[in-house]
Every structure is written in structure tokens, then in C-alpha cells.
Structure 1
């Protein structure tokens, strides 16, 4: 894409008809449909786990550079993050692109679709800014390691969201089987907070047959901790979750394990409730250590905050997607019991995190091998491109309509932090 240079016009909000983007930006998405499909497929066929998304980072960066954008690779000190900007003056809209996969099962959360949709929305809005010479800036930010690695949390800490951002946006695929009555997505996708930590137990090794009485069994501590958490669940609220795995359970059966390590997620609808539940979980771990004579140690990871819904941005998305023939639920009444680091972003700037439906086999949801297969289908890509058009239109309205921008900021400020 040839990027125009020179001064931009400064029209009033009412000077640009709201229908202009479908005739400019949407065509950009349609005209480049093959390129976006190839981009989607390449990322899907080369799945990479958190902070190892070297192929996705390079592929997306090169794609944007070929369109004429200047890309900052390895942005904000993260090796697999990138950033590109276009425009000047006015407000700033940021599209977040996720592209990490899950260990062993690939893009079973469809992050290839997220990356492609955000890229298409960015290119579409940049083309509109260029064509109309309107004031405003658009940014795409590559955000690695959403799957437990807290990439956006690190980007926040590094200053990636310190600018006066009027809206940060992204959308996530979800199984179409979860929708009825012709709905194809949700604008206000509510998600819960999550605290993550690894728990280490240290005991004393001994021969398991010859002199087990001289050992202190760290595996017993891990098993007891797992049992304690299972007992805790009966006293948890229905919207709370604790789940974990034993990552290191010992070596061979005839040696008393002197070290074990577990990985746990503690989730609740709000960050404060997640912290309270974490206190109870730690009591379970410490009781297991005391009962077995082991020492316990915690290795905390980056925590995910609950996802705050911005009513203004959601309504804009619902209205514009209706023009595309899509029927979108305004927002969830009950939060989904999963988490995302986009929740942390929603505490920094006005944010939008929608979901779009893709066809999957019956009884299949995210984090399943069959969802990974579905995320590579043309029907899933087409859904992502329709979503990209909706996000591009929303970005355009934020840049050109003060009522939308001010409404989004007001909603952000009104929600208790």
C-alpha cells in the first residue's frame, strides 16, 4: 500500500459521513482477501508457544512492511512483539494481535484468526486515514504469550499503553455451537481474573524400599495439596475456579522424591476475589507441607485481571456489524470462567474484546485439538474478516466522532477500578 504524505485535513466530526469506511476500508479487506488468507494459514500451520512466536513475529512484520508500514520489531524489549503506526494528530486507536499457540495442540484458541483480524482492521483503518486525510492515528501491537505468559502485562509495564489511547481493540474466535437464534458473536465478552503460581515442595530423598523412613516424600506433599484443593472446591462459589497439574513428580519409583513442582491457576470474577481465593489455596499448600514435613515455596507468575466491558464501544460494534448482516449479542450477563491478559489492558485504556463464532464439531470448545482444526478452515477465516470490518469501523468512529470517543472514555472512568 502506498502511504500518502503531507498535511491532513481537520474536518469536523459531522463532515465525514459514517458510511465512508465501507467504501474505502472494507474494500481494502476484500481486495486483499487472498493475502490475508495466506497470512492466516501460514501462522496456523506454524504454531508457536508463548515467547517463542518467531515465525509469527517475522511473518506479520514482513507483511506490514510490504504494505508500506514502518515496523518496530522486538518492540518494548520483548523479542516476539512488534509495533506499527500510521497517521498523525487526532486520537489514537490500537489493535492488539495475539498469535501464540498451545503446547501440543497448536492454535486451539484460534490466535491465528485474532492476528489476521487485527492486522486487517489496522490496514483498513490506515487506508481510510490515508485516503480521506483525516486526523488520527492507528497502531497495531503484536502481543505475544497470552496463553499464560502475560505478554500484555509485560507490555503494559514496558509502557506500550502509556499514550493517550482512545480505544484498544481485539476479537477472539469461539465455537458457533454456543450461539442460538442466529447470533454470531458477542461484543461485551466478560472474563474473570486469574492468579497463577507454581508451588514447589522440597523433602529428602531415600531408598523407597530399603529405608523409606529416612525420606521426606515431596510427592506426598503434592498429592496432599491436590486433595486439599479438591476439598476446598465444595466451599467455592460457582463462578470461581482452581485447577492445577503436577509438572515434576519425581524420577523413579524406588527413590523417595525430594522435589516436586505444581502449576496452579486461581480464578474469580474480580481481582480482589481472586486474591482472597488465592489465600485459601495457599493454606491448602502449606497444610500439605506441614503434614508431610516438606518445605513449600511459591513461584508467582503474572496475574490476569478481569475483563472490563465498555458499553459505548460494544454498542457501536453491534450496530455496525448489523449493517454487515451479523447479529451480535451486546454483552454477557454472566462472565465466562476463563481469563485473558486483555483484562489488564482494560484497566489501562478504554478497551474492546469481542468474540466471533466459527464452525466447530459438536461439543468442541477452545483448547481442544478439533478447535485447532476448525481455526484453519476458510469459514473461520471469513468470520474473522467480517469481524475485522466491524473493528475497523469502530476505530473509524472513535477517530471521527467525539461522542463515541468521549462516551468510551466516560464508560472507562465510571467503572470502578
Structure 2
């Protein structure tokens, strides 16, 4: 766990004028009942990634009713959403997610993310003429199963955005302003062998299932020799259809997680080598499909933005840390890909005092509990006031830029995510 050290120059940052901040807070709080209905409505719809048609329509109508033009289906994704208030730069995006999990529904609480983002947008939009610049609400599909933010970025959705903010629900006694995550990528594996009678002519076969099993064992052995923060998962998806036939096709999916992009690249190459070795040992032919959807990279939290969010959400009476923390043992989000392109934050907001695992039905119930509803309003206020500070204060914008450059500046994500070398 790394400690985020506060830059002394941050103390000179004034942020948005107090009357504007009070108006933003009042606006969001006045919408609390409506935001609750939005959150619960999204929760009840529960559509999976790329299929969030009713969810995005609900959010779009919520905004149109309040006088904001909304574009749905831009950037090649039919369930994306964009609304904008103000004009010109600086321009900050607040990101909404609304996809659910198959069989679990909103067990990751994306209904809270959506409602808080909409609330933050509306809070800032009412004061954006006084603040200057622009605020954009971007609905980003398929965080769970398709890396919608990477697809949107490749299509130019963030080309005019200077900074981005969003939050994510979690459970526990305290929240994290400077969130860290794991990179993750998948590879689909198919081995092609030769079918034969398993009893009368096994010598004429080449066993594709043996190749998968050997690869699985190699990956299991590799787990002992990777950093404690990193993860390897493997699932056999196909292994033959008749016990008396040498399997001529077998398959698996391997998932790789790492705390940093370099680690992801290193482990990916080792996995590729293991897969090729299994093919060589069994006389089978290996076919790999790396990144069937774009890989997710680690979140790089911007210190200056996280510090402002920390101040605003603390004022709401929430216990939050400024330490950079890998929450819940480490999970992954497509916000990481965006955070390597532009300054970003992805803080957590608690929806329960207990510790309930995400991606469960119980977590989903917390997302529509009174604590979940309070998180929507508090989170919306925290995000809105952080956006307002950025728009109003050139010193904060400069500090955000300096922090982003000190962390490595913008990354060419597409070049970084090339498949491993085949030998």
C-alpha cells in the first residue's frame, strides 16, 4: 500500500467559490427523491453489457425531462450516452455505468454509479455558466463484459475531455479516494489434435485434452512465481464428447491480472510460452485469441483530484482515506484504460457498514438500501464539487496536469496491449 503525499501547493487551491458550491450541493440534495427513483429503476431493469437499451433510455429521459439534449448510441455503441452543459474548455466528464451481471443483476451496484453521475452532472450544469467551461455526462456501456470505455476512447469519445471522474460502491467502514485496481486480460485457447479410437488405435490420435491439461498444470505452477498481488485463472471450456474417442479439439480460457501494465505484459508472455509448450509436448496445434475484448489496465488515480474529492466527501461525514489502496484484494475496471489517457479518479463510496462481496445478490440489495440511496446523493455532491473546483480554479488544473505528468503522462494504450510474441 502506497501513501499519497499531499503536495504543499494544494493548500493554495481555492476551488469553486463558496456560493456556487452551496448552490451545487442544494441542487443535488433537492434531487434526492428523483435520483433514488433513477437508481432503483436502473436496478430493477438489470440489463447486461451492450444490451442496456431500457437502462440508457431511462437515464436519457431523466435528463431530457430536465431540459438537457441527450445523444444515445454515439461512438459506435448503441447504449452509450452523452449530455453536455456549458461551452468550451476546460471540460470534465462524469461517467455513468448501468450494466448488470448475468444471473446476479446489479450485484456490482452500477445503478448507484449511474444515479450519482447523473446527480453530479445536474448539480454542476446548474452553475456551469458561472464556473466556465463544460461538464459532460458520458454513459459507458459494458464495464463488466466488454471494456466499453476503451471502445469509446478508440472512437474518440474522450478526445475533447480534460479530466474524468466517477465513483464505485463498496462495503466497509471507510472509503478510498485514491483507488487502485488490477489490470486484466483474457486469452481463449484451442488445441487441435487428431481423433482416433481410444482403445483400438490410440497411437494414431493426438490428444487435444492432454494439451489443455498440461497447459492448466503449467499455469498452476506459474502461480507460485508471480507477485502476491497478481492473479491467474483458468477454465477448461471443451474437452471432448465421447470417452472412447481421443479428443481432437479442446479449449480453455486463461485470465491474467497484474498490478501494473509491465507485469501484465510479462505474465502474458509466460502464459503464451506455456501454451506453446503444451502443444509441442502433445503434437497438437495451438490456436489463441488474445483479448476477445480489450484488456483492462490499472487505475492511475490523480492525486490533486483525489485530494479535492476527499475534502468534499469528508465534509459529508464519510470516513475516507487518501492512501492509494487496492480495495477488496484487487479487482479490475475499464476506468483504468481511461486514467492512463487523461487525469481521472475512481473513488469508492460505502453502501453498507459490513463487508459484503461484490458480484453477489446481497451486494445488489445494499445498492437499493437506504445506505445505497445516501451514497448516491453524497457521492453526487462529492463528484460535483470536485468538478466545480477543477472548472473554477486554474491552479488546481495546473496541479492536476503536473501530477498526471509525474505519474508518466498519457499512455498509448492500444500499442501497449499488443498480444504476446509467438515463438
Q: Structure 1 length normalisation: TM-score?
A: 0.88
1:387 deviation in Å?
1.0
Count of aligned positions: 394
Pick the aligned partner of 1:372 from 359, 364, 370.
Answer: 364
Q: What is the deviation of 1:216?
A: 2.6
Q: Secondary structure at the match of 1:96?
A: strand
Alignment of 1:162-201 (within 5 A): 162-163=159-160, 165-176=161-172, 179=173, 183=174, 185-201=175-191
Matching residue of 2:413: none
Structure 1 contact 190–331 (Cα < 8 Å) conserved: no
Is structure 2 residue 94 aligned with structure 1 residue 101?
no
- Aligned-residue offset at 1:211: 4.4
Distance 1:56 1:249 in 2: 38
Q: CA RMSD in A?
A: 2.1
Residues 91/257 of structure 1: CA separation in 2 closer, same or farther (3 Å cut): same
* 1:73 alignment counterpart: 72
The CA deviation string for residues 382-408 of structure 1, in whole angstroms up to 9 with x for no partner, is 112211110000001001111111111
Query: Residues 327 and 14 (structure 1 numbering): CA distance in 2 closer, same or farther, change over 3 Å?
Result: closer
Describe the superposition over 1:198-218 as per-residue Cα deviations: whole angstroms up to 9, x where unpaired. 112222334445644443332
Q: Does 1:144 align with 2:141?
A: yes
Q: What secondary structure sits across from 1:39 in the alignment? A: helix
State which of 307, 314, 328 in structure 2 corresponds to 1:322.
Answer: 314
Q: 2:154 aligns with which of 157, 168, 179?
A: 157
Distance (whole Å) between structure 2 residues aligned to residue 38 and residue 211 of structure 1: 66
The worse-fitting range, judged by mean Cα deviation, of 244-253 and 309-318 is 244-253
For 1:220 and 1:93, locate their aligned partners in 2 and report how far apart those are by CA, in whole Å: 53
Any gaps of 5 or more consecutive residues in structure 1? 1-12
Q: Which residue of 1 aligns with 2:9?
A: none
Secondary structure of the residue aligned to 1:332 is strand
**Partner in structure 1 of residue 338 of structure 2:** 345
Which of 216, 223, 240 aligns to 1:233? It is 223
1:121-163: CA deviation from partner (whole Å, max 9, x where unpaired): 1111111225xx4422010111111124111111111111111
Answering whether residue 268 of structure 2 is matched by residue 278 of structure 1, we say yes
User: Which residue in 1 is equivalent to 2:350?
Assistant: 357
The unaligned stretches of length 5 or more in structure 2 are 1-12, 410-423
